[in-house]
Amino acid sequence: MEKETVTLTIDGKTATVPKGTNVVDAAKSVGIEIPIFCYHEKMLRLGCCRMCLVEVEKMPKLMTACTIDATEGMVVKNDTPKVVKGRQGVLEFTLLNHPLDCPVCDKGGECPLQDNTFNYGAGDTRMEFKRFNNVKKKELSPVITLDRERCIACQRCTTYSEVIEGDQALVMHNRGFHNDIGTFNDQPYDTRFSGNVVDICPVGALTNSIFRFQARTWDLDNAKTLCAHCGCNCNIEFGARENELMRVVSRQNDAVDDGWICDKGRFGYEFVSSKNRILEPGIRKDGEMNVASLDEACDETVSKLKTIIEEHGPKSVGFIGSPFASNEELYLYQKLMRLGVGTNNIDHKSYDDTPGLPVAHYDFTDIESSDLTVLIASDPTEELPILDLRIKKAVTRLNRNLIVLNDQKTLMDKYASLSLRYNVGSDGVALAGLAGAIADSLKQGEAPKVEKLEKTTGIKPNSFKDFAEKMIAAKKVCVIYNPAALTGNSVAIVKNLLSVLNQKPEGECGAIPAAPATNALGAMDMGILPDFYPGGVSLSDDSKIKEVWGESAPTEKGFTTCEMFEKAASGDLKALVVFRSNPIVDFPGGDKIEEALKKVEFLVAHDMLHTETTALAHVVIPSVGPGFDEGTTTNIGGRVQYRRKGLKAESFPDWRVLAKLLSGFEIEAKYLDSFTVTAELAKKVSGYEEIRRGSIQKEGKTRPAQASVNGKTPEVTSPDSIDGFKLRVSEKLFAKDKILESESALAHHFSEPKAILNSVDAKKLGIKSGDRVKVSSGNRGLSVEAEVEDSCNPGAVVVSNAGDEYRVLALIQDHNATVQVSKE
Amino acid sequence: MFAFTKESEEKIETILAKYPEERKMSALLPFLTLTQRQEGWVSPEAMVEIGKRLDVSPAYVQSVCSFYTMYFQYPAGKYIIRFCHNISCYLNGSDSLLDYLSKKLNVEVGGTTDDKKFSLIKEECLAECSAAPVMRVNDDYHVNLTKESIDKIIDSLK
Ligand code: SF4
Ligand code: SF4
Ligand code: FES
């Protein structure tokens, strides 16, 4: 649909802009800058600072350019004496009580007030009275400090809190002369997105408590890079001084983050200097870990692996990759395993997933243009925060619709027009039920057959019907699902559902596979899978594999992580290479995994931080990780972007480690930097042909969607009835894990895990909120506080993955995740 | 703990009926007024409750409440005396009368008597200039004030 445009002139220049654009943005489009304070292109037009005064022909008075729409034939003047005088007057007011802090102020050098004063400010003040003094340091939270004197009351921050975050936590008290930015009863302003107010405050009033008074902005070496915490891959700028990371700010990319980042991205970077970092390679001899050179560690790895391959065959070696690593690293690893070792025992996850989609792969911007977003098993607020903001934007500001299908309550329910909750563990049946309801309504498409739908899922057939009808009625539907929160073969059922939906006669649909990990999609694309080569090439596509990877490329299906651990436990898997992954804590059933890893003859851990897994390794190789590394990652929307390094590492980049290992296996590996790897993978991985240094520099590039292998309609298995409770582990954004440890600036967000019980079950067990309960399975027990809330349906308990020390996932010891709950 | 009384709840129904459901936050000022009439002030607990009823955050309630100087965010006296000190009243001697009243009640301007009976507040124009000096005690106006009339008014308040 063509958008209607209007044409106007500004200082004699002609601008044609979409109808509804305000004069500030219209001027910007032709390179004319109108000074502003309160206006922000992502928020409401406030008109409260009056800095943007312009003359508009036929209007008697000066107008605020931010509040008026550009109209056809409008004539705007931005530099007449009247305009200049008006702005001078406004600035004189603004500066009346503003302190002369510039020499020490954090905003200095990037401050709109400085810039505007430079352009319009008087050289002197006419003020004869003493300046009004005010509080210099009001801690709004452990990470945000307000300098009340510097505030010019523009209300950007309060508007942000209300409109963008949607929780009205930051407000303006005592509006008028004594106005004061604050919260309810001086509670901390500690939302998940609070740090953005530091970026948008046009003066140095809201400051980053950690960066405060630490450096001048112009002394920073800024690297335009990506956040590496979750699958959104928000664009950020790393500001370092003398190789020390001083701060992180957002770097707007509308196709990804819309200009915002979450507090984990902004403040959660201590890991770059954690004392837990692995600094040197090590080789274990007689139980003792000894420091080694990289060459020694790589030689040891190659020779041991070769011996094991010789003795037990390539199938006795496995690789567990990381959904947090870059495409280049993962690409090289799978190459090493497939062509060097000769095995497909390659995986990176504990759940089932397959590459490709039967529908379009949607991006963040598609959420805005979709009439309906369908959220399945996803909790964006905790898992993919910037996705949370984008969905909120679609619902609250663009009048889009949201419907939710999940087994637990999330903060997104508040924005949904329909929210269905299936019983924990019945996701396969629920999705098949929904697919069936869609097929029924469309009178075409084949969905898996299910029995006892209501009894199994706890959702009435009619509700499925309503849900399905909403999906069919919408012109554009965006289905967001989290494969990591689905069980069994549910991902296959989601894909079946999508292909059924795709048959609707009108409109379009697409999906976003929203696994939380930073480069989960990249790991799929790079073929860190036992049954797919990079680019979603199935093992059955023998000729293609041979063509791209050579005659010796293995085509026998490899082991999944789960199978690898089983084989390790039984002694069949002799060697395992683990790259940036800590399965003992991060995979379900960690105890068994730990036992299995202890049995492995040769365990290589290539990681950034010391973990429970690296502690067992025979060879440890440091991985420099985010901040120091370079490479591309692929976000949930399929956008490939470049993660630059912001700091110089003491040790070697991962691609160099891989080059050594590859050479050890007589595979040519003459890489000069990460981009030479990118260039190679662009040639080998379908979908990545266009990915190269030049094409991804700015906003990244969306890789074309991969088609999914068309299988037959999947089967559904009903969940077993169990004796006890089903455990649902919910994710927490600020979990006390290896990345955010106790010294983190975000430590105030840490909390103990809670057991959230449905009121029906709580009543049966005589448990009240606040009681201590024990959640246990096998030899594992976790003593936690109970909370009675209908977060999930009866029969299940939700425990948040609040930190590594609690080992919540170790409670999962069978495929039903059965646990017992008892009062202590 | 704060709770609306039964009478307040009845009034709430009438108040809410005046606004469309999706605009119920418009009922914020009537709610604040109602709360102050019931409690004499608007406590943080009351703000939380109002926020719940109107689907706004307690912070928002507080920000609105703090804009209007006639809402109290602390417990005030049983009788709130608002004494005009704007130009007309001032020209007619309001400052010495205010001083007199302050001594009589033994409370500073802006304060509340120890027995929590009176709060004495300096107020901007009460819009009754033709009968200056003026003060307002709760909902009642008292005009053309003199020391004697002030004595009489205060003595009549139980
Ligand atoms: S703190 Fe900053 S953003 Fe907030 S009102 Fe003041 S000047 Fe504006
Ligand atoms: S949403 Fe994800 S990628 Fe974006 S800043 Fe937060 S953690 Fe980083
Ligand atoms: S930018 Fe226009 S009034 Fe503030």
DSSP codes joined into one string, A455-486: HHHS--HHHHHHHHHHHHH-SEEEEEE-GGG-
| Same domain (yes/no): B60, B92 | no
Q: Which fold has domain A5-94?
A: Ubiquitin-like (UB roll) (3.10.20)
In a domain, B114, yes or no: yes
Report the gap between the CA of B117 and the closest CA in chain A (Å): 26
Q: Do the chains contact at A185 and B44, CB–CB below 8 Å?
A: yes
Query: How far, in Å, CA of A656 to CA of A651, rounded?
Result: 10
Instruction: Give chain A's contact residues with B (Cβ, < 8 Å).
Output: 158, 162, 167-176, 182-185
What is the three-class DSSP state of A757? strand
- Chain B residue with CA closest to A414: the answer is B55
* Residue B123 lies in domain: 79-157
Taking 90 as the threshold, does the pLDDT of residue B79 lie above it? yes
Which one of B25, B40, B67 terminates a domain? B67
How far is A277 from A272, CA to CA, in rounded Å?
Answer: 8
What strand order describes the sheet that includes A575-579? A288-291, A282-285, A619-622, A602-607, A575-579, A317-320, A346-347
CATH topology of domain A316-349+520-702: Rossmann fold (3.40.50)
- Whether residue A37 contacts residue A116, with contact meaning beta carbons closer than 8 Å, is answered with yes
Q: Are residues B86 and B145 in the same domain?
A: yes
For chain A, the domains span 5-94, 316-349+520-702, 362-513, 725-823
Instruction: Give CA–CA dist A616/A287, Å, rounded.
Output: 10
> Is residue B1 situated within a structural domain?
no
Three-state secondary structure call for residue A586: helix
Q: Examine domains A316-349+520-702 and A362-513 and report if their fold is the same.
A: no
**CB-based contacts of A294, cutoff 8 Å, min separation 6:** A281, A621, A651, A652, A656, A657, A660
SS3 content of chain A, % helix, strand, coil (to 5): 30, 20, 45
State the best of A180, A184, A399, A417 to mutate against chain B, taking most chain B CBs within 10 Å.
A184
Q: Tokens representing A549? A: 């990877």
| Pocket (CB within 6 angstroms of ligand 3) | A 36-39, 47-52, 64, 66
B72, part of any domain: no
Residue B8, chain A, CB below 8 Å: the answer is no
Domain boundary among B23, B41, B67: B67
Spatial separation of the C-alpha atoms in residues A181 and A17, rounded to whole Å: 35
- pLDDT at position A718, please? 87
The reply to whether residue B63 touches residue A171, judged by beta carbons under 8 angstroms, is: yes
From residue A764, alpha-carbon distances to A411, A501, A724, A761, A780 in Å are: 27, 41, 13, 5, 23
Which atom of ligand 2 is nearest to A385's Cα?
1
- Is residue A691 classed as helix, strand or coil in its secondary structure? coil
The CATH number given to whatever domain includes residue B38 is: 1.10.10.1590
Residues of A in contact with B66 (CB under 8 A): 173-175
Residue A356, C-beta contacts closer than 8 angstroms, at least 6 positions apart: A536, A705, A706, A707, A708, A709
A657: Cβ–Cβ under 8 A, 6 or more apart, which residues? A294, A298, A606, A621, A623
Three state DSSP letters for A166-223 = CCCCCEEECCCCCCEEECHHHCCCCCCCCCHHHHHCCCCCEEECCCCCCCCHHHCEEE
Residues B55 and B116 reside in one and the same domain? no
Number of domains in chain B: 2
pLDDT at A2: 58
**pLDDT at site A499:** 94
pLDDT of residue A527: 97
B132 and B90 share one domain: yes
Residue B62 within a domain: yes
Assigned token pair, A342: 């000769």
First-to-last C-alpha distance (Å) of chain A? 62
Q: Check B57 against A167: CB less than 8 A apart.
A: yes
- CA trace torsion A588, A589, A595, A599 (10° rounding): -40
Pocket lining: A733 vs ligand 2, CB cutoff 6 Å: no
Residue B73 falls inside a structural domain: no
- Tell whether B43 and B109 lie within a shared domain: no
C-alpha A104/C-alpha A251 separation (Å) is 24
Domain at A362-513, CATH from 3.30.1370.100, 3.40.228.10, 3.90.550.10, 3.30.70.330: 3.40.228.10
The strand pairing partners of A660, in sequence order, are none
Low-confidence ranges of chain A (pLDDT < 50): 1
Does the distance separating the beta carbons of B67 and A175 come in below 8 Å? Answer: yes
List chain A residues with CB under 8 Å of B59.
Answer: 168-171, 182-184
Q: Which residue is closest in CA terms to ligand 1's atom 2?
A: A201
Predicted confidence at residue A128, as pLDDT, reads: 84
Q: Do B62 and B83 belong together in one domain?
A: no
Q: What is the CATH number of domain A725-823?
A: 2.40.40.20
Calculate the alpha carbon distances from A25 to A34, A59, A70, A242 in Å.
Answer: 9, 20, 9, 38
Q: How many CB atoms lie within 10 A of CB A492?
A: 23
- The domain that holds B120 is classified in CATH as 3.40.30.10
For A562-583, give one letter per residue: b (16+ CB within 10 A) or e. Answer: bbbbebbbeeebbbbbbbbbbb
Q: Clarify whether residues B94 and B56 are in a common domain.
A: no
| Contacts with A564 (C-beta within 8 Å, 6 or more apart), sequence order | A318, A320, A345, A347, A573, A576
pTM of the predicted protein model = 0.94
Q: Is the distance from CB of A384 to CB of A232 less than 8 angstroms?
A: yes
Asked if B47 has any chain A CB less than 8 Å from its own CB, the reply is: yes
Residue count (chain B): 158
Q: How many Cβ atoms from other residues are within 10 Å of residue A674's Cβ?
A: 25
Predicted pLDDT of residue A132: 87
Closest Cα partner for A734 from A721, A744, A725? A744
Question: CA-CA distance, A503 to A491, in Å (whole number)?
Answer: 19
Residue the block writes with tokens 């983050």: A257
